[in-house]
Amino acid sequence: MQNKVQFMPNSPSPFLTMFAEEMYKKRYAKCTIETYIKWVRSFILFHNKQPPSCLHDNEVEAFISHLENYQGQNKV
């Protein structure tokens, strides 16, 4: 692929690189890809770098609850 995704040079995560390249192939906007990568990376880090294939509905709900609680604390 000659037009590699330029905003993820030497990414330490093959999964995130593959994810970004697939979105690029589907012609997502660069800022959309960057935002998705940010959220996916946050999700993975929140769950102590477990492979995404091991994470299911309960983990998604825990992450969303964490975000809700975190945003609620910042509003106080």
Any idea where the domains of the chain sit in the sequence? Answer: 14-75
Does the pLDDT at position 28 exceed 60? yes
Q: For residue 73, what pLDDT is reported? A: 67
> How much is the mean pLDDT over the chain?
84
Instruction: Answer yes or no: are the C-beta atoms of 12 and 44 closer than 8 Å.
Output: no
Does the pLDDT at position 1 exceed 50? no
| pLDDT, tens only, 39-56 | 999 998 999 999 878 889
CA neighbor of 49 nearest in space, from 58, 61, 40, 36? 40
Q: For residue 13, what pLDDT is reported? A: 83
Fold classification of 14-75 (topology level): DNA polymerase; domain 1 (1.10.150)
Query: Higher-confidence residue: 52 or 60?
Result: 60
Q: For residue 4, what pLDDT is reported? A: 52
